[in-house]
Amino acid sequence: VECRPGSLGFPAPGTIFSSVSRQSAHISPFFSTSSCYYNYYLQGFFLGSRNNPVQPEIEELDPSPSMPGQQVSDKHQLGRLQYSLDYDFQTGQLLVGILQAEGLAALDLGGTSDPYVSVYLLPDKRRRHETKVHRQTLNPHFGETFAFKVPYVELGGRVLVMAVYDFDRFSRNDAIGEVRVPMSSVNLGRPVQAWRELQVAPREEQEKLGDICFSLRYVPTAGKLTVIVLEAKNLKKMDVGGLSDPYVKVHLLQGGKKVRKKKTTIKKNTLNPYYNEAFSFEVPCDQVQKVQVELTVLDYDKLGKNEAIGRVAVGAAVGGAGLRHWADMLANPRRPIAQWHSLRPPDRARPVPAP
């Protein structure tokens, strides 16, 4: 299946998706308390609702957003964010509370957004916390607190960034706006609570490595996890001729260690390869919260060493888009859930070992 709007949605009979009916997404009405996905439903990892699931029809996937990291330009219509700050001197932790937002810009066609907040302390962009996604609202109540372990004497040189995004499963998430708080300007002698207007977020300067679309399907009764690598787009040019020979390695990890490995065929001279190749792994129900799946896109080199273009990981311990995709898979048993992911540099995409 092509991950693009206006396509036929599912491939012709005989291809991988031929057994899937072409219908709107639905949530299984049965959640057994002994099932491996029941806890995700209770804990709030499931991001949609029975009447309004996150996963729409497969034909709504869009590999070609108008601009990666599209942003709102009118700062007067971005909305505002309420947050709290406190410092625990005993543990050496900065506690950041994301309380609520109101009047957010509407980025979806229905006149609403699916907002979430990404929180990090500059100059370290790697350690990020993210709130849950709130569906179809411009006035979300988050009520989540995140901890950053930073010595108090170092806080003055840090800048707290709280970036609000509109979640989009099938293209790059759009930045609504952000709040930046220089920690040197904050008196942490007592807890702080404030409202701030969102400002236009600067475009990320990180090198673009490309995007990959794949689906996840889990059958709890059989303990079977299926990963279908669908396609990739806008991959980084790796060859002298301005193209690449990409293929994808799929690793199943447990405890941070690779326990199973699969790989796709090699697609020659392209930056937009199409695969539609399926790989299955045996994952017992009691282990599904302890494993992660890592996909690595590599450029094949006949004479030299194959070079990694980028990676992406999904799983219960991954966080962000990787956690959202995994949670939707568990909330929709036996059904393939497809999503686009932006590739990350190979040294930054390693999943966190599950406990």
> Residue 93 is part of a domain; what is its CATH number?
2.60.40.150
- pLDDT digits 0-9 by tens, 62-95: 443 333 344 444 445 799 999 999 999 999 999 9
Q: Do residues 185 and 159 lie in contact, with contact meaning Cβ atoms separated by under 8 Å?
A: no
pLDDT at position 61 is: 47
Q: Do residues 250 and 227 lie in contact, with contact meaning Cβ atoms separated by under 8 Å?
A: yes
Q: Is the same domain home to 337 and 219?
A: yes
- Flag whether pLDDT at 318 surpasses 90: no
Q: Is the same domain home to 230 and 290?
A: yes
The predicted model gives 106-117 an average pLDDT of: 84
According to DSSP, the residues that pair with 281 across neighbouring strands are 225
pLDDT at position 222 is: 95
Q: Of 148, 178, 197, at which residue does a domain stop?
A: 197
Question: Does any domain span residue 70?
Answer: no
| Higher pLDDT, residue 329 or 40 | 329
- Among the ranges given (92-106, 262-276, 305-319), the one the predictor scored with the smallest mean pLDDT: 305-319
pLDDT at position 11 is: 36
Number of domains in the chain: 2
124-130, strands of its sheet edge to edge: 124-130, 115-122, 159-166, 174-182
Question: Does any domain span residue 2?
Answer: no
Q: Of 197, 224, 245, at which residue does a domain stop?
A: 197
Rounded to 5 degrees, φ, ψ at 92 are 70, 40
The whole-chain average pLDDT of the chain stands at 78
| Higher pLDDT, residue 223 or 111 | 223
Q: Is the same domain home to 316 and 341?
A: yes
Domain span including residue 315: 16-64+208-348
Q: Is the same domain home to 84 and 26?
A: no
Q: Is the same domain home to 316 and 245?
A: yes
- In three-state secondary structure terms, 286 is helix
Where does the pLDDT of residue 347 fall: very low under 50, low under 70, confident under 90, or very high at 90 and above?
A: low
Q: Is the same domain home to 37 and 142?
A: no
Task: Return d(Cα 111, Cα 269) in angstroms, integer.
Answer: 41
pLDDT at position 127 is: 82
- Flag whether pLDDT at 38 surpasses 90: no
Question: Does any domain span residue 326?
Answer: yes
Q: Is the same domain home to 221 and 193?
A: no
Q: Is the same domain home to 229 and 280?
A: yes
The predicted model gives 277-299 an average pLDDT of: 95
Where does the pLDDT of residue 99 fall: very low under 50, low under 70, confident under 90, or very high at 90 and above?
A: very high
Task: Return d(Cα 109, Cα 320) in angstroms, integer.
Answer: 23
Question: Does any domain span residue 202?
Answer: no
The predicted model gives 103-120 an average pLDDT of: 86
- Among the ranges given (85-99, 212-226, 290-304), the one the predictor scored with the smallest mean pLDDT: 290-304
Question: Does any domain span residue 253?
Answer: yes
| Higher pLDDT, residue 252 or 10 | 252
Q: Is the same domain home to 172 and 225?
A: no
Question: Does any domain span residue 4?
Answer: no
Helices and strands: H and E segment counts in the chain: 2, 16
Q: Is the same domain home to 139 and 188?
A: yes
pLDDT at position 170 is: 62
- pLDDT digits 0-9 by tens, 225-247: 999 999 999 998 887 778 899 99
- Among the ranges given (11-15, 58-62, 223-227, 293-297), the one the predictor scored with the smallest mean pLDDT: 11-15
Q: Of 175, 197, 219, at which residue does a domain stop?
A: 197
What tokens does 49 get?
Answer: 């609702």
Question: Does any domain span residue 328?
Answer: yes
Where does the pLDDT of residue 203 fall: very low under 50, low under 70, confident under 90, or very high at 90 and above?
A: low
- Flag whether pLDDT at 50 surpasses 50: no
